[in-house]
Amino acid sequence: MPGSAQDTAGQTVMRDWLDSLAEYRAKGVLVLGPDPFAANDNREVVAVYPPDFRSAGRALAVSDAYGAHWRVNGGSLVAFKNLDGMGGEAWVTDCLGRGVLSVVRTEIPMPFGQGFECFVFAARQFSDRKEASALVWSAMSVWPLIKDVIVASHFGISPREREILVAMAEGLTAKDAGKRLGCAERTVTFHLSNLMVKLKADNRAAAIQRACSLGLI
């Protein structure tokens, strides 16, 4: 996947995020996002910290324990599960082995019916949704910053490319975007070609749509 090895910026942000949740005894954080290049409702790991939670993240991405059906059925934005006694799935055993006692999930809706899902792995149990919501409230206060960094680094989008996406989304031509950003049209076009490869889009409109639905802009 793009950015899985080199996204140090993403790792730093995720570590800070986890640290900020110390009072809730958080042991790991995970962000799932829609897999834009797969069939509907497929999710993939956008960011995870620490990295040894990745396999749990992958399992959750394909698991029905939480997921799209839950969103569609009008559930709450916050959900939690105490892992004790859940048994069965490998990721649960794995988490219990790391001292994780519960998982809290929340969702951040995006355009086109998509959403990000954030999971916090905590070394404590929750007795009701109110407690879980307090954790989510705390976690979400820094979400906008986190989202920008992890999404861009997940797709390998540079700040410059993001500026160009924004200009395109505003309806500027490559020439005008160049004027605004103080570069030649050729630079804009080159960045756009690269963006289309990264976003696996065949045309400019699809690239912008994808950037929106992925929360890149």
Partner 1 sequence: MMARFPLVLLPKRVVYVDDDGWFLDILQKTMPRRRTREFIESPDAALQTLSQETAYWRDVEALLSGAQAARLDGMGEAPLYVRKYFQDWRRFHLTSVLIVDHGMPSMTGIEMLRRLEACPARRVLLTGMQIPDEVIQAFNSGLIQKFIPKGTPNIYKEVAACSDEMHASVCEHMGHLVRSTLTPGQIRLLHEPGVINGLTKKVEELGWIEYVVVGQPFGLLGMSHLGPLQWLQLETPKSLTELAEALADFEMAPADLQAIRDGTALLASEIRAQLGVVDNRQLVVTDSLCAAPELYCGLLDLPVKVLTARDYGLDDIRSTEELMRSLLRDVQMAHNATAASDESDLDDSLDEALEHFGATSALSDFHSQSARAVVAAARLPAVLAGRVDTALKAAQRDRGGDGHRE
Q: Check binding of 193 to partner 1 (CB under 8 A).
A: yes
Site map for partner 1, 194-213, x if CB under 8 A? x-xx----xxxx-x------
Q: Among 59, 123, 134, 183, which residue sits at the site for partner 1 (rule: CB under 8 A)?
A: 183
Query: Of 15 and 200, which has the nearer Cβ to partner 1?
Result: 200
The two tokens of residue 216 are 């890149």
List Cβ neighbours of 18 (8 Å cut-off, separation of 6 or more). 26, 27, 28, 29, 49, 50
The two tokens of residue 195 are 């963006």
Paired with 105 in beta bridges are 79, 119
Q: How far apart are the C-alpha atoms of 191 and 169, rounded to whole Å?
A: 14
Restricting to residues 137-176, name those near partner 1 by CB under 8 A: 158, 160
Shortest distance, position 202 Cβ to partner 1, whole Å: 6
Q: Check binding of 128 to partner 1 (CB under 8 A).
A: no
Interface ranges with partner 1 (CB under 8 A): 158, 160, 183-184, 186-187, 189-194, 196-197, 202-205, 207
